[in-house]
Amino acid sequence: MVYAIPLIIFMDDVSGNVLKQWNKHHAIYISNANLPCEMLEKEFFVRFVTSSPHTAPMELMRAMKESICVAAESGIVVWDCKDNQEVMLIPYALFVTGDNPMQAEECSHAGLNCNYYCRTCEVGGMKEYKESEAGYNSIFNSGNTRMPEETSNVIRQQFETAILSGASEKVKNSMSSTGICDMASASILNTLLELGKKLRKRIAGSLALPENEVRIALEKEFEQLLQGRRLDDAINPLLRMHVLLGIVKYFWGQTVFLLEKSKLLHLFQNRLETVNKDALNSPCLNADYICHYKGSLISKHFKSLAQVMPFLIYNLVPLMVLDGWTVMGELVVLVCHMKMAKLTQKI
């Protein structure tokens, strides 16, 4: 047997002293999200991972991420005392918890005081806009969802800007206009900005260095600061952390691949548009949206798709793929019924 183990990861700053004097440490703990809620609160099930008064939070998280990825790749063989047999565990990060400042850092976000103050979406704007009628009303609506790839791209652009003339102001404007500030690589970025100012500063009685020589010096310093790593290895490790997806999402991705390869996605979209949605547990079948944003769907879309896919792809995909969707459709309905039954018992 192989079991997927979802992990709740908690990181925050705590005091390392028993006395009242504050001695700041950053600590990481984990919990098994498969446990019942009443068990998750018990001290025994909150497991200490690491702590340091010197290491930056995202450096601790980098080690945590690497440890989880190695364990997920090879699996962990343990003894199941209930079934009296060896089983394999595949751990994965379900979500990372913490207070607002810590979660902002974990998302490479500048925090609640910046113009675009939401770490989840791009809601917000400059002060003048937010004080206008349209801007004020926009605050109460969700903005475009922030995606890890887009956040990483902005961080890379900030480093590309760091070697240009007037870099400090340009990087500051980038952080202000996007709300993205990566603390994991902040020391490298700040070193480049300060060095650029120093190299471009004209000393009395001498000429400033030519711009091309300044850039060469900054690029050389950048390589030394990375210490042989790529830039992607220096920025927020959580932006490139693999997430164990649900089986429906994996099947959806593979099915879309087969439909596109056979040039049948348009036919699938037409069928999805006309399917009867009245009996679905979670009717969310905007065909145009689902097919256009096929790589960015969320749970409500998958709940609906799992119940109708066999009727849409019965002659478009191999039989083994169709059988898989049939089993998943039955499973989703059973899970929904079980949840309703438990809810009814509580009431």
DSSP string over 121-185: B-----HHHHHSHHHHHHTTS--PBP-HHHHHHHHHHHHHHTTSTTHHHHHHHHHHHH-B--SSS
Stretch 17-40: mean pLDDT, rounded?
84
- Is 193:171 a contact under the CB 8 Å cutoff? yes
pLDDT of residue 68: 92
User: Is pLDDT of 204 > 70?
Assistant: no
Measured from the Cβ of residue 347, the count of other Cβ atoms closer than 10 Å reads 5
User: Is pLDDT of 86 > 70?
Assistant: yes
Convert the pLDDT of each residue in 48-83 to its tens digit. 999 998 889 999 999 999 999 899 888 899 999 999
pTM confidence score: 0.69
Stretch 169-190: mean pLDDT, rounded?
93
User: Is pLDDT of 347 > 60?
Assistant: no
pLDDT of residue 252: 92
Say which residue, 285 or 82, is predicted with more confidence: 82
**For residue 204, which amino acid is it?**
A
Indicate if the alpha-carbon torsion angle 68, 69, 71, 72 is positive or negative.
positive
pLDDT of residue 157: 95
Which region among 70-74, 219-223, 226-230, 300-304 has the lowest average model confidence (pLDDT)?
Answer: 300-304
Convert the pLDDT of each residue in 154-178 to its tens digit. 999 999 999 998 999 999 999 988 9
CA distance 32 to 46: 8
Stretch 328-336: mean pLDDT, rounded?
76
CA distance 267 to 308: 15
Stretch 118-126: mean pLDDT, rounded?
90
User: Is pLDDT of 282 > 70?
Assistant: no
User: Is pLDDT of 346 > 60?
Assistant: no
pLDDT of residue 242: 72
CA distance 139 to 118: 10
- Is 91:68 a contact under the CB 8 Å cutoff? yes
CA distance 294 to 280: 20
Q: How confident is the model at residue 18 (pLDDT cuts 50, 70, 90)?
A: low
Stretch 200-208: mean pLDDT, rounded?
67
pLDDT of residue 87: 94
How far from the centroid of its chain's Cα atoms is residue 303's Cα?
21
Contacts of residue 332, defined as CB under 8 A and 6 or more positions apart, other chains included, come to 248, 281, 303, 306, 307
- Is 257:165 a contact under the CB 8 Å cutoff? no
Q: How confident is the model at residue 335 (pLDDT cuts 50, 70, 90)?
A: low
Directed axis angle between helix 148-161 and helix 186-200, to 10°? Answer: 20
